[in-house]
Amino acid sequence: MHEFSICQSVLEQVEQMTRRQHARRVTRIVLSVGPLSGVVDVLLQRAFDALRLGSVAETAVLDIHTSAVIVACPSCKKESRVPTNRLVCPHCQQWQTTLVSGDELVLLRIVFAPNTLSDNGHSVENEHV
Amino acid sequence: MCNTCGCDANDHQHKHHAPSALVPESAELYTAILQPDEIVAARNRQQFEHHRVLVVNLMSSPGSGKTQLIEQTIQTLNDEITIAVIEGDLDTENDALRIRRHGVQAEQITTGTACHLDAAMIETVLPRFSLDTIDILFIENVGNLICPACFDLGQDVNVVLLSVPEGDDKPEKYPVMFRAADLMLITKTDYLPVATTFSIQRATQSFRNVGGRAPVQELAAPLDRGVSAWIDWLLSAYAQKFTVLSTPSPSETADAPPKC
């Protein structure tokens, strides 16, 4: 359920960056979401489909990269890919591992649409500032 | 701004760029999505440090004994330590009323349908407290084993409760929540004689499997069992925070709870 507020946060940052770059529209937003971030990609996508309407990302694609859960073992020094609910070292069973990746919730990249003259005309008409 | 091409030029004599020339193709970022929340959480944390308040975020399923734990703590520490409470629930003031009966200030946040508390909600109620007079502030999060784990409120420690009737495999079912714990408290152990499928050892193992490194304690509040171990842990968390604060070192900024 909190995917809505998280998506809102993504869109706020996207709007801000779009203004800063003098762009009008965004064609792609790339996120990295770890399985241990507590965010479900399908729900985030659904929230995006509702919230993008009327935003600079109205026609954008939301590209969610799911990172792997990787732990580092302090005993055998190996890094291993593990399931989300078993962060124990699969080689030596050490449980005091360190998470290397898997809990990210990161905005990686925004792709902007080139401004067209009609974009500019449109934005001037609707200029609020 | 030039109304023709949207660029920053103020004189209208400039040569217009090709429409796309001003806009970069993309922006490569690597920013935390919850950065706006983290900024508010950091503001809260600063206030708590300034007023020397230890903030304990209690998280668990509904009905696992969070309010009872606070009541028990108040009864035990009443004369030595000033406690205050922020209660988070979807609706009702029931929990705040329970706490106020003990003469302790409790502010209720009703979230409507929101599944967690966030840093901004906490910031909004903080002016109702006189933080200088408070030693420990409990935040009783919305009963939910999923969402609250993802939102930093500015707390010092997370205590996650797992009550015996819930079953001993909950950590592996909700790894994000249990991974965030600085203490896992197995509550309602007075039910152990009838909850024959629950094993303390399995619950602890389940917690270790999801990367839980924190201590595990048992508590049977009505029987007063395990209360003193909990109080010791709480007071040592308080002492640790303020010893660290009085001798700050640049490497100790990692005091914040783990981000999820």
Task: Assess contact for A36 and B175: CB atoms under 8 A.
Answer: yes
User: Which CATH number goes with the domain that contains B123?
Assistant: 3.40.50.300
pLDDT, tens only, B179-212: 999 999 999 999 999 999 999 999 999 999 999 9
| Within-domain flag for B29 | no
Residue type, B12: H
Q: What is the pLDDT of residues B202-259, one digit of tens each?
A: 999 999 999 999 999 999 988 999 999 999 999 999 999 987 655 544 444 444 444 4
Q: How far apart are CA A89 and CA A97, in angstroms?
A: 7
With b for 16 or more beta-carbon neighbours within 10 A and e for fewer, the B28-51 pattern comes to eeeebbbebbbebbeebbebbbeb
Among B19, B31, B175, whose Cβ lies nearest the Cβ of A107?
A: B31
Domains of chain A: 3-114 (3.30.2320.80)
Contact between chains at B8 and A115 (C-beta distance less than 8 A): no
Q: Which pLDDT tens digit goes with each residue over B74-92?
A: 999 988 899 999 999 999 9
Helices and strands (H and E) in chain B: how many: 8, 8
Domain that holds residue B41: 36-253
pLDDT for the residue numbered B82: 96
Position of tokens 């329970």?
B98
Residue B167 has pLDDT above 90, yes or no: yes
Residue B4 lies in a domain: no
Q: Confirm if B23 and A22 have CB atoms less than 8 A apart.
A: yes
Could you tell me if residue B8 is inside a domain?
no
Structural domain total, chain B: 1
Q: Give me the pLDDT at residue B259, please.
A: 41
Q: How far is CA B181 from CA A18, B149, B177, in A?
A: 38, 9, 7
Those residues of chain A that have pLDDT short of 70 are 1, 117-129
B11 domain residue, yes or no: no
Write the single-letter amino acid at A103: D
Best mutation target, A103, A119, A124, to test chain B (most B CBs within 10 A):
A103
DSSP of A28-65, one letter per residue? EEEEEE-TTTT--HHHHHHHHHHHTTTSTTTTPEEEEE
What is the tens place of the pLDDT at every residue in B30-82? 899 988 889 999 999 999 999 999 999 999 999 999 999 999 999 999 888 99
Range B127-143 average pLDDT = 97
In chain A, residues with a C-beta closer than 8 Å to the C-beta of B19 are 114-117, 119-120
Angle formed by the axes of helices A41-51 and A3-20, to 10°?
Answer: 60
